[in-house]
Structure 1
Amino acid sequence: MANEPKPSAAAAEADDAFLHSCMYFTTNRLSRAITRIADEAFATTGLAPAYGYLIRLVIVKPGITQKELSEKLYITPSTLTRFIDKLQAKGMVERQVQGKTVLVYPTEKGRALEPSLRQASKQLKASYVAVLGEELADLLTSQQEQASEQLER
């Protein structure tokens, strides 16, 4: 083993070239980059971006069902339940049960966050547009939405 020849730089580069043409790898790389930018933008709210968007949806549609929230946020019902549990513990949302349906409402504390959540969303977009340019940012967003819809079928 100690006598094995080391691969040349060109061979090593070729060995990992598949990563740069792999949607799985490149999408995860992009996800990590945009998550870092989103975390920075939402830091002023004291919430992770996913929680901020959840509250925004609840504010826009008080009494939204957990099922609808799960579908809109593209997360599993169990993940949504954990998110709502945390936001409820912070006093930002409340649940009301109607039969088998659970409705989610914003509290006054949750509503009070709306301006800072909107600002964080604007800051997020401004941050990635500053790097990518508006045309590429819009194109990437549109293409990702289209690809996601096709892959989920």
Structure 2
Amino acid sequence: MHKFYNECAYFTAARYFRKVEQITNRIFEPTGLAPAYAYILLYLEDYPKSSITKIAEDLGYERTSVSRMLNFLQERGLVVFETSGRKKLFHLSSNSSEVLETANDCLSQLKKLTDKELGNKKVEMTSLLTENYWRLNTYD
């Protein structure tokens, strides 16, 4: 009998991710953006003037995906870039404040929900997931 239902890192992480993604998509609906786009805005709130490479590394997205998402956000007037040598550095535009406020509210709602549902195991679990992500990141 297969035990992957509960023991396989891929299957259990993917199953968990699908559930978290469903919940997060619903919570972030008021932003009018998919959560990944909102998270880029939130990242730029913390780290203004960031490069595509830095955003991709820190958030764990593919560089091409970050580039596509930043282009989308730029087309909507939510981010702008400046050139520094050969690099593009992105930061929030003045038009982003309303969406950013909503995204912060959504993030707070998600935290409250996951704190309530996952309890004190949440901190341990997210720490382990983060640690294991960086361990496996060497296999790229």
Same fold (TM over 0.5): yes
Residues 35-54 of structure 1: pairs in structure 2 closer than 5 A = 35-54=21-40
The sequence identity of aligned pairs, in percent, is 25
Structure 1: which 5+ runs fail to align?
A: 1-13
SS across alignment from 2:77: coil
**Contact 2:4–2:11 (Cα < 8 Å) also in 1:** no
Deviation at 1:99, TM superposition (A): 2.1
Residues 70-81 of structure 1: pairs in structure 2 closer than 5 A = 70-81=56-67
Residues 96-107 of structure 1: pairs in structure 2 closer than 5 A = 96-107=82-93
| 1:3 counterpart residue number | none
- 2-structure distance, mates of 1:150, 1:143: 10
TM-score, with structure 2 as normaliser: 0.90
- 2-structure distance, mates of 1:97, 1:105: 11
**Contact 1:58–1:64 (Cα < 8 Å) also in 2:** yes
- 2-structure distance, mates of 1:68, 1:33: 28
| 1:151 counterpart residue number | 136
Tell me which of 84, 88, 101 is aligned to 1:115.
101
Amino acid corresponding to residue 80 of structure 1 in structure 2: V
Tell me which of 114, 117, 121 is aligned to 1:128.
114
The number of residue pairs the alignment matches comes to: 138
Q: Residues 9-34 of structure 1: CA distance to partner in whole angstroms, max 9, x if unpaired?
A: xxxxx3x4333211110000000011
Deviation at 1:89, TM superposition (A): 1.0
| 2:80 counterpart residue number | 94
- 2-structure distance, mates of 1:106, 1:18: 43
**Contact 2:41–2:92 (Cα < 8 Å) also in 1:** yes
Larger Rg: 1
Amino acid corresponding to residue 145 of structure 1 in structure 2: T
- TM superposition outliers: structure 1 runs of 4+ over 3 Å: none
- 1-structure distance, mates of 2:4, 2:59: 31
